[in-house]
Structure 1
Amino acid sequence: MSETQSTRSDNKDKKSLYKKVKEKLQTNRVETIQGIEIEHRVIPLWIKFLILLVLMILLFIVGTMIGYGILHNPFGVFNPETWQHIFDLTGRRS
């Protein structure tokens, strides 16, 4: 019996610790300056831009593989000859 009571009290301590940390994070995010509440970002803006850039590159690669893979081998999109052929078709000189 004492083991179950101790584990229950440990769970309550963990929950209360979680709640304390959550409350601390929420209170640190909002700051009042001259009567105006300012909310700070949880994730910095430069990290959001970095994530966006990585996702754009990943989606470009996946999209070209799907588009090229309809008629050919999807991994053929990584061959330089494929891109040279595409540039020749579009009239762009390399």
Structure 2
Amino acid sequence: MTSPRRILPFVLAASVSATACARFPELDARTADIDPQTPYPALVPLDPLLARVADDQITEDTEASIEARVAALRARAKAMRSDVIDDETRTRMSGGVAR
């Protein structure tokens, strides 16, 4: 019986050769749609970008502001689920349809 140590190099070689046969997408075809005259994006300093991120940090007021926002959204959703037409108007409309 052959030992696993002797078989291991052959198994590795077979698996590497099998993956080497994989087809890759044509990368040249992907760049065909890019206009060569398009300028490169402007480089910006990193500090102003990091400063904007610092403004979005969680503070002591974050929980209260989120809860207030949730309450406002729930109230808005409740108003949307209510009847659009009041009872008086609905009665008047039903009378017009019955004629």
- Structure with greater strand percent: 1
Q: Please identify the structure whose Cα radius of gyration is greater.
A: 2
TM-score (norm 1): 0.28
- Structure with greater helix percent: 1
TM-score (norm 2): 0.27
